[in-house]
Amino acid sequence: MHRIFLPILTFRYSLLTLGWIKYFRNSLNHSAVLDIGRVKTAPAGDRALPHDSTGVGQAAHDGHITAAMAKVPFFKMHGLGNDFVVLDARYQAIALDGEAVCRLVDRHTGIGCDQLIVLEPPRQATARLFMRIRNADGSSAEACGNAARCVAWLLHRQNGETRMRIETAAGLLEAEIMPDGQVAVDMGLARTEWSEIPLAHPEDTLCVDLALGPLSEPVCTNIGNPHATFFVEDVEAIDLGEVGPVLERHPLFPERANIGVAKVDDQTHLRLRVWERGAGITRACGTAACAALVAAFRRGLADRRGSIGLDGGRLDICWREDGHVIMIGPAALSFEGTFDQSLLTGS
């Protein structure tokens, strides 16, 4: 009897085991199984467990959930802390309206920067590219010295060139990579006629009839964009956040203006702080540094060559006898990456 019972028990045990194996296999086939970057979904009609609905990648895609999202590459760069997001649209156009610009430059919900720089195909055959400049408020700027140095640095990294020509809305800029790694840019002619700034009506640009609080009688200069430079005894004592936006939009400036407050330390050293048109207070502004040296020389306060100290560091500026202004300073790449195209559309 023991011999008969043992096979029967073994047979029943085998059936029980096979039953559990079959149940387990069926359970696997009817459950959501998460693989690396891929989701196998349960057949229609099966009820998923509550925790299954919260996993990453639950959509029925062949790839990861983010695979369908278009990515846009960018560079984050700065010149003395004046920072930029640089987009390369030379080979594929990027649709950017004012709202998209504002979303990108937002430091809380976007990438964050003072200005957005878009590299486009050149209009002139002698230029390597066209540099489009968008301010933090979505408006456009004609020139930006710190951005020009950053773009020249990028071109040098891409193809090893040490001299290049960059096209802007203000004209062509010649740039050169120096042996010490700094970048020199010919910012073009300094324009000083009232109509070239431009001003709303005729004024002596060496001593403009304009005052607000402790600031008065600026020197106005165009370095590809309009500047008003006020000379003061202490730049730190001026509340740029208060006077800057008012002066920027003064009726005297039909295209608005960059506002600089400068102190002359000696014939070759100036201290400068800047409220940038469309961007606010920035740590450095290349065209404002050029305008400050030109203004100081015109007033007889400084030489044609000098070092301008800004919140973010120093720029060397030279106003040549032929009227061209040369700026020398550093450029730095902070990081590079990609962002979802939805940031441009707000979707």
Its CATH architecture, for the domain 189-329, is Roll (3.10)
Looking at per-residue confidence, does 193 or 58 come out higher? Answer: 193
Distance linking the first and last C-alpha atoms of the chain: 78
Q: DSSP string spanning 64-118?
A: -TTTTS-EEEEEEEEETTEEEEEEE-SSS-----HHHHHHHH-TTTS---SEEEE
Question: In terms of DSSP bridges, do strands 171-177 and 183-189 run parallel, antiparallel, or are they unpaired?
Answer: antiparallel
Report which of residues 179 and 9 the model is more confident about: 179
Q: Cα–Cα distances in Å, from 207 out to 5, 194, 218, 277, 296?
A: 116, 11, 6, 21, 12
pLDDT at 139: 95
At 69 the pLDDT is 56
Q: How confident is the model at residue 67 (pLDDT cuts 50, 70, 90)?
A: very low
Q: Do domains 71-182+333-345 and 189-329 have the same CATH topology?
A: yes
CA–CA gap between residue 98 and residue 135 (Å, rounded): 9
Distance CA 136, CA 99 (A): 10
Q: Is 26 helix (H, G, I), strand (E, B) or coil?
A: helix
Per-residue model confidence as pLDDT tens digits over 261-279: 999 999 999 999 999 999 9
Does the pTM exceed 0.85?
no
How many Å apart are CA 333 and CA 190, to the nearest integer?
Answer: 29
The pLDDT of residue 130: 98
In the chain, % of residues over pLDDT 70? 80
CA distance 143 to 168: 6
Active site residues: 144, 285
For the chain, domain boundaries: 71-182+333-345, 189-329
Least confident of 60-74, 128-142, 189-203, 306-320: 60-74
Contacts of 127 (CB under 8 A, 6+ apart): 165, 166, 167, 172
pLDDT digits (tens, 9 = 90+) for 74-123: 999 999 999 999 999 999 999 899 999 999 999 999 999 999 999 999 99
Separation of CA 116 from chain center: 4
Kindly report which listed range (15-29, 194-208, 295-309) carries the lowest average pLDDT score: 15-29
Q: Is the pLDDT of residue 341 over 80?
A: yes
Is pLDDT at 288 greater than 80 in this prediction? yes
Task: Note the pLDDT of residue 43.
Answer: 40
Q: Percent of the chain beyond pLDDT 90?
A: 78
Question: Which of the residue ranges 27-36, 60-69, 160-169, 280-289 would you say has the lowest mean pLDDT?
Answer: 27-36
Domain 71-182+333-345: which CATH class?
Answer: alpha beta
What is the DSSP pairing of strand 226-231 with strand 219-222?
antiparallel
Is pLDDT at 42 greater than 90 in this prediction? no
Q: Is the pLDDT of residue 178 over 50?
A: yes
Q: Which residues pair with 324 in a beta bridge?
A: 189
> What average pLDDT is seen over the chain?
85
User: What pLDDT score does 345 carry?
Assistant: 87
Binning pLDDT at 50, 70 and 90, where does residue 63 land?
A: very low
* Model confidence band, residue 346 (pLDDT cutoffs 50, 70, 90): confident
